Structure 1
Amino acid sequence: MTRSTTDEAAAPPLPSPKERRRLREAKSLSEEQVAAAVGVTRATVRSWETGRMSPRGRKRALYAKLLAPEPAAPPTTAPPAPPVPTAPPPAPPVAPEAIVKATPEAPAQAQTPAPAPAPAAPPTEAAKAEAQAEAPAGAPGAGRLSPAAAFDELYARTAPGLVRQGYLLTGRRALARESVEHAFQLAWQRWPEVAVDRDPAGWVRAAAYEYAMSPWHRLRRAHRHPDVPPTEPGKQALFEALLDLPPAYRRTLLLYDGVGLDLPETAAETEASTPAAAGRLMTARAAVAERLPELADVASPAEQSALLHARLGGLARAEHVPVPRPARAVRTGSENKARLWTRTAVAGVALLIAVTGLTLHTAPTHYEPPISPPERVGGVPPRGGPQKLTAQDLKLQKSLSEQLAHGPERLVPQLK
């Protein structure tokens, strides 16, 4: 039995993913603080709380101890608790090569000393919008946006970039725009769920990628073949190299080197393990490097990632990718589609009820045995009877009727 298995067996059982988040929030701990205490990244903590991943070994024991409820304190006057120190930033993402070469018995990352705490970065516009959307309606100074306004803001901020990403993913401009609009229509239908999600842009991106990579688009004549590649040799080589990759490898490369996600987040969005995502990334980079000589000359993985990020962004911006429709049109299309599906479902149920009633009305109420098929009967004698009289027979019949018969008189009974 390995050391990780022994530590996992000795550690107390972990609560459910929803209970983990509740316990963390009950202790007023942020994801960054938990990540720094256990020795992982913020994305890993998020994966633990959503149920995509589960901690193992020493990290499992530290995480379970951190979430364990504190025993009830005796009713005594205690000095005020000191303020919670600011947690250090999450550890930097691990290179794909290190994850692929690592073994299950490798030492945990938490053994390395944590870096010094850095000043907190100012909140971005996306964080402010998300905080406003999640703030209660009656909170002072919340400035909560309406659902339509929050959706329009998310659409205006992320839709153009998602269309360019969809073009790199599929090589088809029309399909890229269609996939983004479909994803936002689905998001508007499920807006109560998407509005409280930790990463609404990631939710829409995953939906758009899934729709764009559907194999059923090959049966559509409009999306059967990719668009004409760029005329510039370097961009044309990159375009063809992307389309030659398998869909899963292409998506991993685009998320990591194009969008800028780290390996745990890339693995979670592609529904793969972190080592598998690292292996796909390395294979995709090697395949692209065969088409791009300048990428093959770079030895550092960080420099390769930066160069690929720049080349992918340049390819997406250089092509004339169609602009998505306005957010209002997308919301209206989503509502019309939902209304159409509702009416279709109601009509289908009504038709089913009508057909069932007609069947019950016209169905027989008793059993009628089927008529057996006819069979040929053999062994019956031919039909008999008087035959047609000949001329001789007619002559004899006439002579008998004219002449009296000589014989004894008939006896006639008499009454006495």
Structure 2
Amino acid sequence: MTRSPATPLPPPKARRRLRETAALTQTQLADRVGVTPATVRAWESGRTTPRGRKREAYAKLLKTLAEEETVRAPEPGPEPKLEPAAKPQPQPQPQPETKPQPQPEPQPQPQSQPQPVAAPEPVALTPAQAFDALYAFSAPALVRQTFLLTGRREQARESVERAFQAAWEHWPEVARDRDPVGWVRATAYEYALSPWQRLRPRHRHPEPPPADPGDRTLLNTLLRLPPRHRRTLVLYDGVGLDLPETAAETEASTPATANRLLRAREAVAGRLPALADPQVLHRRLAELASNERLRAAEPPTVRRGGERRARLRTRAAIAFTVALIGTTALTVRTAPTHYEPPVSPGQAVRGVPQRVAPGALSDEELELRQKLRDQVQDGPQRLSPRLE
């Protein structure tokens, strides 16, 4: 059984041009295809390629838009004025004594030709301007998404700022990335879900929950999910990524990501049956993130904070290196140059009487000492032993 050839897709730029020519928004086109606006945005940017039935529906819709664009011909501009063709003039009859008058040459009328409009030259942005544009475009949404992962407003804001500071530190790499927003989002999620966050003092003090009871119940349900399941649910049903993109960002296989998504949806539907529909869940997640007043810092503040943090790390590394060099030099200076065997500890020897202090002299010893003293006082004679 042979499969029918797939309908060809135009390039990503042509897809966006056809949608804009038909005066359709990404949300309207997503509703007609049956996907989320984020998926349409990814298709038009070239980050992902549609597959399966969604691809056929998207290709047929683009083909229809292209045909409608062909039917809608642009209004004709002013046609160039052409000189009328010379009509045959009747032969003049000769008149007596009349000289022919010189006819003025016809002046050619200027033809109005459409002037080609030069395309505007792309403006080269400095790295700081490009970073500020990326931050202003994606930071507010990333703060709201990170709030769904942590349930803490300050932690979500700090995670996004740290992620952008890391992006500014590796800006050449991020600027060449196919999806710089995805790079920053992955870094922010990793920082927000780090287990070291539980050891921080402010983590012990809970923040005020959302005012709406429904939002509060949904947020508590999300926070009860395991971090991996929560991240998968937010990326797929909140952000709108497809399954391969979600698997790539969470560094997991596609089957494992699908399993996490199903388990997360079952847990949410178990507590909130009204959110069993993925479309309703997507809408509620967007409402929960939008109801919170979360503001991101200004781009220059984030850039200066990242530069200051980089300087502090550099100084700390230099100080540690200097301390290590000084310790090594001191060790080399004071270390012994030869081997000295250690002194073995003392051991008790049996059979030898212990040393004792001398006590008082006996009578015989006192008499002997007196005798010796008396004999020596008379002269230098030496005592010689003799028998008695």
Look up the equivalent residue of 1:146 and give its one-letter code.
Answer: T
Tell me what 2:228 maps to: 248
Is the counterpart of residue 221 in structure 1 residue 194 in structure 2?
no
- Structure 2 gaps, min length 5: 1-9, 15-39, 67-119, 376-388
CA displacement 1:223-251 (0-9 Å, x = unmatched): 24653322322212211111111111111
Tell me what 1:335 maps to: 307
Tell me what 1:19 maps to: none
How many angstroms does 1:324 deviate by? 1.6
> d(CA) in 1 for partners of 2:366 and 2:300?
112
In structure 2, do the counterparts of structure 1 residues 392 and 332 end up closer, same or farther at CA, with 3 Å as the change threshold?
A: closer
Q: Identify the match of residue 345 of structure 2 among 357, 362, 373.
A: 373
- Structure 1 gaps, min length 5: 1-28, 34-40, 49-88, 95-108, 121-139, 297-303, 402-416
Task: Please give the secondary structure, in 2, of the residue aligned with 1:276.
Answer: helix
Tell me what 2:27 maps to: none
Tell me what 2:217 maps to: 237
Q: TM-score, normalised to structure 1's length?
A: 0.60
Is the counterpart of residue 258 in structure 1 residue 230 in structure 2?
no
Tell me what 2:126 maps to: 146
Look up the equivalent residue of 1:289 and give its one-letter code.
Answer: A
How many angstroms does 1:32 deviate by? 10
How many angstroms does 1:392 deviate by? 10
Does the 8 A contact of 2:225 with 2:264 survive in 1?
yes
Does the 8 A contact of 1:175 with 1:223 survive in 2?
no
> d(CA) in 1 for partners of 2:208 and 2:316?
39
Does the 8 A contact of 1:152 with 1:327 survive in 2?
yes
> d(CA) in 2 for partners of 1:382 and 1:274?
85
In structure 2, do the counterparts of structure 1 residues 174 and 378 end up closer, same or farther at CA, with 3 Å as the change threshold?
A: same
Q: TM-score, normalised to structure 2's length?
A: 0.64
Q: Identify the match of residue 51 of structure 2 among 91, 95, 104.
A: 91
Does the 8 A contact of 2:143 with 2:157 survive in 1?
yes
1:393-404 → structure 2 map (5 Å cutoff): 393=367
> d(CA) in 2 for partners of 1:31 and 1:247?
34
> d(CA) in 2 for partners of 1:151 and 1:289?
40
Is the counterpart of residue 313 in structure 1 residue 293 in structure 2?
no
In structure 2, do the counterparts of structure 1 residues 31 and 366 end up closer, same or farther at CA, with 3 Å as the change threshold?
A: farther
In structure 2, do the counterparts of structure 1 residues 47 and 270 end up closer, same or farther at CA, with 3 Å as the change threshold?
A: farther
In structure 2, do the counterparts of structure 1 residues 116 and 93 end up closer, same or farther at CA, with 3 Å as the change threshold?
A: closer
Does the 8 A contact of 2:47 with 2:178 survive in 1?
no
Tell me what 1:25 maps to: none
> d(CA) in 1 for partners of 2:218 and 2:271?
7
How many angstroms does 1:390 deviate by? 3.9
CA displacement 1:270-301 (0-9 Å, x = unmatched): 112222222222221121112223224xxxxx
How many angstroms does 1:115 deviate by? 4.6
Let me know the Cα RMSD of the aligned residues: 3.8
> d(CA) in 2 for partners of 1:280 and 1:229?
26
Task: Please give the secondary structure, in 2, of the residue aligned with 1:349.
Answer: helix
- Aligned positions, number: 282
Does the 8 A contact of 2:148 with 2:289 survive in 1?
yes
Does the 8 A contact of 1:249 with 1:280 survive in 2?
yes
How many angstroms does 1:354 deviate by? 0.8
Q: Identify the match of residue 177 of structure 1 among 154, 157, 163.
A: 157
Which structure has the larger Rg? 2
Is the counterpart of residue 186 in structure 1 residue 166 in structure 2?
yes
Q: Identify the match of residue 285 of structure 1 among 258, 265, 272.
A: 265
In structure 2, do the counterparts of structure 1 residues 388 and 150 end up closer, same or farther at CA, with 3 Å as the change threshold?
A: same
How many angstroms does 1:378 deviate by? 3.5
Tell me what 2:325 maps to: 353
> d(CA) in 2 for partners of 1:397 and 1:358?
67
Look up the equivalent residue of 2:342 and give its one-letter code.
Answer: P
Does the 8 A contact of 1:253 with 1:285 survive in 2?
yes
Task: Please give the secondary structure, in 2, of the residue aligned with 1:143.
Answer: coil
Does the 8 A contact of 1:229 with 1:240 survive in 2?
no
> d(CA) in 1 for partners of 2:290 and 2:366?
120
Task: Please give the secondary structure, in 2, of the residue aligned with 1:350.
Answer: helix
Query: Structure 1 vs Structure 2: percent identity of aligned residues?
Result: 55
1:75-154 → structure 2 map (5 Å cutoff): 90-91=50-51, 115=60, 118=63, 141-154=121-134
In structure 2, do the counterparts of structure 1 residues 388 and 271 end up closer, same or farther at CA, with 3 Å as the change threshold?
A: same
> d(CA) in 2 for partners of 1:333 and 1:392?
95
In structure 2, do the counterparts of structure 1 residues 319 and 192 end up closer, same or farther at CA, with 3 Å as the change threshold?
A: same
> d(CA) in 1 for partners of 2:231 and 2:139?
18
Task: Please give the secondary structure, in 2, of the residue aligned with 1:380.
Answer: coil
> d(CA) in 1 for partners of 2:286 and 2:196?
28
How many angstroms does 1:380 deviate by? 3.1
> d(CA) in 2 for partners of 1:213 and 1:225?
17
Look up the equivalent residue of 2:128 and give its one-letter code.
Answer: A
Does the 8 A contact of 1:249 with 1:281 survive in 2?
yes
